[in-house]
Amino acid sequence: MQQTKKLPISLIIPVLNDAVFLKSLLDQVCRIDLFEEIIVVDGGSADESRDVAKSFAVLLVQSKTGRAIQMNEAARIGTGVYFLFLHADVKISPDFPATIKSLVADKITLANFCLEFDKKNPILDFSAYLTRFSTNIFQFGDQGLWLKADLFKEVGGFDENCLLLEDQEILTRLRKKHQLKKQKECLVVSARKYEKHGVLRLQMIYSWIYLRYRFGMSQEDLAKLYQSLLN
């Protein structure tokens, strides 16, 4: 079998108690064998996430808890020309490898992906449909983040004061410098939180948190509000 040429990409996956989902994602991304390096950055998991990572040819990094903190920690040691950030609970589509190759070949500076959920539901289907649009209100971390490493370093990475919506915050800064190139190939996202809390209820919670964020609520108050609404 002809060996696939690895591309100058650091794939960064933050995890916190994501063992089952991490195994599924690493099965996929290690099989396509495109990435120069895969960095799994653990924020203090109490499950088997670290053991899962160690069973694959990836670099495992320990970090303080916090998705922004974890992703910055991994980016500091990443050697790729490009960074690709993916959440642990996504799966990649069959067209994903071709898209990654095109992003490199076309020297795309900033991009993310459309998504769909792993469960059929009218509300989730509509939410997924909205990710086809590049308006900032529809951009969240589940859609991944592709960018040149130099650009990431130029803007100072993720804001580690962000307890929530770190993806929204960094995209706002990034889009002042470069156009976001939306990729039609989908990431398939787990609907487990919707199943646990109720689809309509959780969607309303997310919408309310986003509105409060846009109107300037502090990160500490946002985190408290989010937890109170989930309980």
| Percent of the residues in the chain that have a pLDDT greater than 90, as a whole number | 91
What tokens appear for 19 in the block?
């063992």
Buried b (16+ CB within 10 A) or exposed e, 7-32: bebbbbbbbbbbbebbbbbbeebeee
| pLDDT at site 4 | 63
| pLDDT at site 19 | 96
pLDDT surpassing 70 at residue 1: no
What tokens appear for 44 in the block?
């203090």
**CA torsion, ordered 90, 94, 97, 99, to nearest 10 deg:** -90
pLDDT tens digits, 60-75:
999 999 999 999 999 9
- pLDDT, mean of residues 24-43: 96
pLDDT tens digits, 109-119:
999 999 999 99
Does this model's pTM top 0.85? My answer is: yes
Element (H, E) at 37: strand 35-42
